[in-house]
Structure 1
Amino acid sequence: MNGTQNEGSFLTGKVLLELDEETPAIGLYFHIIGEGVVRLQDRKRLQHNDRENYIDFRMRLLGDGGTKSEAGSTINGSTVGGRILLLSPGIHTFPFKLGLPLGLPSTFLGKHGWIQYYCKALLREPNGVVHKNHQVFIVMNPIDLNLEPSLLMQPFHCEIQEKVGIRCINRGVVNCRVRLDRGGYVPGESIKIYAYIENGSRATIQKSKAVLTETIQYTVKSKLIKSEIKELASIERGKIPAKAADQWRGELLYIPPIPPTNLRGCHLIRVQYDVYFVVLVKGNKRIRLQLPIMMANYPIRNKDGTLQKRKGTHYPETLPINRAWIDADSSVKK
């Protein structure tokens, strides 16, 4: 069976049945399943579970239910016309081809939930003995930046003005303006960050920092139960004295090889990528700006089909499916 499928394509493969001796059977059954599951325990040790189905296709490869034209015929040495089939020793092959529906969410494996697709084959003997096996396959619902709204290709702005002080004593205002070169990227590209930080206070800004994060939210019965956030990459600049300013001029934040994610169609798990721009003022809370971005599979191309040349781009040959950090501490200071 082909291991990775795009939604809307065909799932093709075959069920192989290898027998050492002549074996009676009632039937051979085939089941294709796609499901999303959330399963977690909260701080009060209450269990929260939810599930939704995307594919539930069943078929009988051998046994009762065949057409009249099959009565008395032979398949791999087996007579189909009766209730009990006698399967000869050797390898029996049953090919299949199934069109996958459009709109399937991509395969996802998380700490508290997953989206998985798999095939199950089951051989049932007259004496009640059941032989079964299953095979997982990966579904990838790709996002092509060339097909997304053009707004994603425009610069993305955000700004904030924050008063800073200690114990209600106003010590001045910090102004911060941030701009990303666009709103959609693919792994292997670099995010260009432009920023202007004006320190109008009497406090020292210890540093400014840009952080790429991935946030996973788990929902049960339409209620958000758990949210995890992980820092994927970061860059920073140094101190800004009182009454001074600093400017980021297209600093590059590289996007590492991360799992491409499109969970459109799933109502239980949500994945979001953000760039957080953080300003740390001595003796005060952090100043934070959140800039959501889209993480796609296919990058922007020129009109002639060639890739756009971008500084700081190193497209990886392969992207991981698993998230190695899901079992580790995923907290990020905000």
Structure 2
Amino acid sequence: MSLSSIKTFTLVLDGPADAAFTVGEVASGQVILEVSRDTRVQSMKVQGRGVATAHWLENRGMNSVYNDYTSKITYFRKRLNLIRDNGELTVLPAGRHEFPFSFQLPEETLVTSFEGKHGSIRYWVKVKLHRPWCPVRKIKKEFTVIEPIDINTPSLLAPQAGTKDKLARTWYRNFGQVSVTAKIDRKGYTPGEVIPVFAEFDNATSRSIVPKAFIIQTQTFIARGTMKQKRSVVATLCGDMVSARTRETWHGRAIKIPPVGPSIQQCRIIKVEYMLKVCVDVPGTSKLCLELPLVIGTIPLHPFGSRTSSISSHYSVNLEWLRMAIPEQPEPPPEYSSVVTEEEAEQRNDGVAPPPAEDLSGIMERPLMAFLQEFRFRPPPVYSEIDPNPQPPHMRPRCMTC
């Protein structure tokens, strides 16, 4: 049989082209095979798979010897026989043939589809057509899986806050101390949301400083006990210059989350994490940076019934970020190397793990804006000539001079 006997061999998934699946859902579609004449087929199988893979090469020494780091996790694998191989050939008459199929995704947690520099998480459907004395025909189609991350949970609705200070100095001269205090309403957000940043910058130095805020994405790949990371800046917020020996306050300055992928936390070999980094650039010395963790979810915040809505209403008065216009085409974010401190850069180059961050979860639990509560005194009792508690008639009156 010549190859020209097959006119069409395609795989079509039901639903829109950009449809995304989640755990427990059913993925269905059709295999369309159109032949120009009677065709003998041995078997046709469809397979659904979901695999996470991490892979990179590292050069060790001067001999150009590369170490291969590879790890793989299979999340699901299912097979269906559209034409079963029972030892006899199946003859398909000329014309168009449609073979429907469907399989259910596992009920366990499936991580979100991902494509990175050193790894990927992919889900696909592959069909193989076996014919006698002919090469195997294959078609493959990928589909997207989204892991549901609900930000309406107590851990993701908790405010995130921290404070950090540093003594700005050069070789032999101290310029003074710089301190940064920052807070955000919650930990979980979804793409497209605006994060109001409440911060205070105390510049006790003799130089002007420039406060900035960044949203940083960190991709972590793990294989053979070795970790590879890639960091990138996805959003930027630049504040006004703070003069020497002055203080600047951000009353909810806005930084918008771009259309990025959600956080990946349940995969053992690939992780995608986010953080809000509030930095102060002091001329002549290294940066002072404060990091607040973020989780990018897929289920947005409920408008009512959460503590964050009450917090937002508390700050609804005199908020600058509500009136700020965010441009449709913002400036491209800077490189990650421009927002890290010198100590972090040296630790990364030397392969030293950064020290654990201090537990500052209890700091700034109160709002940054002070307010006065009105108290009213209880009014005095009504005056009356009649004693409400008279003495009993049998009691002898007491002499006040005795």
Asked if Structure 1 and Structure 2 have the same fold, meaning a TM-score greater than 0.5 normalized by the shorter chain, the answer is: yes
User: Residue 91 of structure 1: CA displacement?
Assistant: 1.9
Q: Rate the CA distance shift 1:113–1:123 in 2: closer, same or farther, 3 A.
A: same
> Comparing 50-59 with 37-46, which one deviates more in the overlay?
37-46
8 Å CA contact 2:165–2:288 kept in 1: the answer is no
The Cα of 1:190 is off from its aligned counterpart by: 0.7
Which string of whole-angstrom CA distances, capped at 9 and with x for unpartnered residues, describes residues 39-91 of structure 1?
222354533222211112122221235xxxxxxxxxxxxxxxx5221121222
Counterpart amino acid of residue 11 in structure 1:
A
Q: Distance in 2 between matches of 1:91 and 1:125?
A: 17
Q: Residue 197 of structure 1 aligns to which amino acid in structure 2?
A: F
How many Å separate the matches in 2 of 1:238 and 1:253?
Answer: 15
Residue in structure 2 matched with residue 231 of structure 1 by the alignment: 233
Instruction: Give the structure 1 partner of residue 192 of structure 2.
Output: 188
Counterpart pick for 1:56 among 43, 55, 77 = 77
CA drift at 1:263: 2.8
Q: Give the distance between the partners of 1:262 and 1:277, measured in 2 at CA.
A: 20
| Alignment-mate amino acid for residue 102 of structure 2 | K
Cα distance per residue 1:151-179 (max 9 Å; x no partner): 32232111012112122544322221111
CA 1:299–1:227 in 2, change beyond 3 Å: closer, same or farther?
Answer: same
Matched, 1:166 2:195: no
Structure 2 residue 22 is matched with structure 1 residue 6: yes
Letter in 2 for 1:29: K
Quote how far apart the aligned CAs of 1:194 are: 0.9
TM-score in terms of structure 1 length: 0.82
Letter in 1 for 2:90: L
**Structure 1 segment 130-279 matched on structure 2, within 5 A:** 130-146=136-152, 148=153, 150-202=154-206, 204-224=207-227, 226-259=228-261, 261-279=262-280
Distance change (3 Å), C-alpha of 1:222 and 1:313: farther
Find 1:103's aligned residue among 109, 113, 116.
109
Question: Offset of 1:244 from its aligned partner?
Answer: 1.6
Tell me which stretches of 4 or more aligned residues in structure 1 moved more than 4 Å. 308-314, 328-332
Give the whole-Å Cα distance in 2 for the aligned partners of 1:99 and 1:59.
12
- Structure ranking higher in strand proportion: 1
| Pairwise CA RMSD | 2.7
Q: SS of 1:151's equivalent?
A: helix
| 1:58 maps to amino acid | R
Q: Give ranges in structure 1 of 5+ residues lacking alignment.
A: 66-81, 315-323
The equivalent of 2:365 in structure 1 is: none
Q: How far is the alpha carbon of 1:104 from its aligned partner?
A: 0.7
Structure 2 Cα separation of the partners of residues 139 and 312 of structure 1: 37
1:208-248 Cα distance to aligned partner (Å, 9 max, x none):
00011111111112320x21111111112232233221111
Contact 1:154 1:183 in 2 (8 A): yes
Partner of 2:37: 21
SS in 2 for 1:247: strand
In the aligned structure 2, how far is the partner of 1:304 from the partner of 1:177?
Answer: 29
The residue that corresponds to 1:281 in the other structure is: 282
1:91 aligned to which of 90, 96, 120 = 96
1:279 maps to a residue whose letter is V
Q: Output the TM-score relative to the length of structure 2.
A: 0.69
Question: Closer, same or farther in 2 for the Cα pair 1:180/1:171, shift >3 Å?
Answer: same
**Structure-1 separation of matches of 2:132 and 2:93:** 16
Distance 2:28 2:134 in 1: 30
* Match for residue 34 of structure 1 among 38, 44, 50: 50
Q: Does the 8 A contact of 1:190 with 1:312 survive in 2?
A: no
- SS of structure 1 residue aligned to 2:142: strand
Partner of 1:72: none
Query: What count of residue pairs does the alignment treat as equivalent?
Result: 301
- In the alignment, the residues of structure 1 paired with residue 269 and residue 213 of structure 2 have an alpha-carbon distance, to the nearest angstrom, of 29
SS at match of 2:155: helix
- Rg (Cα) greater in structure: 2
Aligned residues of 2:40 and 2:132 also touching (Cα < 8 A): yes
Structure with bigger RCO (C-alpha 8 Å, 6+ apart): 1
Asked if the contact 1:205/1:279 (under 8 Å) is kept, the reply is no
Distance in 2 between residues matched to 1:312 and 1:240, nearest whole Å: 22
**Contact 1:189 1:313 survives alignment (8 Å):** no
In structure 2, do the counterparts of structure 1 residues 199 and 304 end up closer, same or farther at CA, with 3 Å as the change threshold?
closer
